[in-house]
Amino acid sequence: MRRTLAVGVLVTLAVGCQRSAKAPADNGMAGMETGTTSTTGRGAVRLSAAQAQAIGVAYATVQRGALNRAIRTVGQVVPSEVRVTDITPKIDGFVDRVYVDQTGMEVHRGDRLLSIYSPMLVTAQQELLTARRLVQSVDSTQTEAWRNANALLDAARQRLGYWDISTDQIDHLERTGEVQKTMSLDAPFDGVVMEKLVVAGQSVMAGAKLYRLADLSTVWVQGDVYENDLSLIQMGAAARIEVAGYPGRTFNGRVTFVSPMVDPESRAGRVRVELPNPDDLLKPGMFATMFFDAHLGGDALSVPVDAVVMTGERNLVFVVSPDGALEPHDVTLGVRAGDRREILGGLTEGQRIVASANFLLDAESQLGQGAGMANMPGMDMGPPK
One DSSP character per residue, 235-254 reads TT-EEEEEETTSTT--EEEE
Distance CA 31, CA 154 (A): 103
Domain CATH code at residue 172? 2.40.50.100
Check the CA dihedral 69-75-77-80 and report its sign. negative
Residue numbers of the domain that contains 201:
81-214
What does the pLDDT read at residue 41?
67
Report if residue 381 sits inside a domain. no
Together in a domain, 113 and 186:
yes
Task: Indicate left, alpha or beta for 15 from its phi (over 0: left) and psi (-120 to 50: alpha).
Answer: alpha
Distance CA 234, CA 245 (A): 28
What stretch of H or E contains 133? Answer: helix 119-137
CB 78 within 8 A of CB 200: no
The order of strands in the sheet holding 211-214 is 84-87, 211-214, 191-196, 106-107
Report if residue 385 sits inside a domain. no
The burial of 327, by beta-carbon neighbours within 10 Å (0-12 exposed, 13-18 middle, 19 or more buried), is given as buried
Report if residue 191 sits inside a domain. yes
What does the pLDDT read at residue 172?
95
Report if residue 382 sits inside a domain. no
Q: What are the DSSP E strand ranges found in 37-190? A: 43-46, 59-61, 63-79, 84-87, 93-98, 106-107, 112-117, 182-186
Distance CA 150, CA 138 (A): 10
Distance CA 107, CA 135 (A): 38
Together in a domain, 151 and 198:
yes
Of 214, 247, 264, the domain-final residue: 214
Together in a domain, 342 and 290:
no
Task: Return the closest-CA partner of residue 185 out of 102, 113, 84.
Answer: 113
The burial of 319, by beta-carbon neighbours within 10 Å (0-12 exposed, 13-18 middle, 19 or more buried), is given as buried
Distance CA 232, CA 228 (A): 8
Report if residue 193 sits inside a domain. yes
CB 206 within 8 A of CB 248: no
* Count of structural domains, the chain: 3
Together in a domain, 232 and 167:
no
Domain CATH code at residue 371? 2.40.420.20
Check the CA dihedral 370-375-381-385 and report its sign. positive
What does the pLDDT read at residue 369?
43
How long a stretch of residues is the chain? 385
Of 196, 214, 232, the domain-final residue: 214
Together in a domain, 114 and 160:
yes
Together in a domain, 225 and 282:
yes
Together in a domain, 202 and 129:
yes
- pLDDT, tens digit only, all 385 positions of the chain: 444 434 344 434 443 444 433 333 444 444 455 444 546 667 888 888 888 888 889 999 999 988 888 899 999 999 999 999 999 999 999 999 999 999 999 999 999 999 999 999 999 999 999 999 999 998 878 889 889 999 999 999 999 999 999 999 999 999 999 999 999 999 999 999 999 999 999 999 999 999 999 999 999 999 999 998 898 898 999 999 999 999 999 999 999 999 999 999 999 999 999 999 999 999 999 999 999 988 877 788 899 999 899 888 889 999 999 998 898 999 999 888 878 888 999 999 999 999 988 888 888 877 644 334 444 444 343 444 4
What does the pLDDT read at residue 24?
39
Task: Return the closest-CA partner of residue 344 out of 300, 298, 307, 297.
Answer: 300
Report if residue 384 sits inside a domain. no
Together in a domain, 210 and 85:
yes
Together in a domain, 292 and 303:
no
Task: Return the closest-CA partner of residue 308 out of 325, 333, 335, 326.
Answer: 333
CB count in 10 Å sphere of residue 178: 9
What does the pLDDT read at residue 40?
63
Of 228, 262, 296, the domain-final residue: 296
Report if residue 267 sits inside a domain. yes
Task: Return the closest-CA partner of residue 37 out of 332, 359, 365, 334.
Answer: 365
Domain CATH code at residue 233? 2.40.30.170
What does the pLDDT read at residue 191?
94
Together in a domain, 96 and 191:
yes
Distance CA 127, CA 135 (A): 12
Together in a domain, 209 and 220:
no
CB 294 within 8 A of CB 232: yes
Task: Indicate left, alpha or beta for 65 from its phi (over 0: left) and psi (-120 to 50: alpha).
Answer: left
Together in a domain, 89 and 173:
yes
Report if residue 117 sits inside a domain. yes
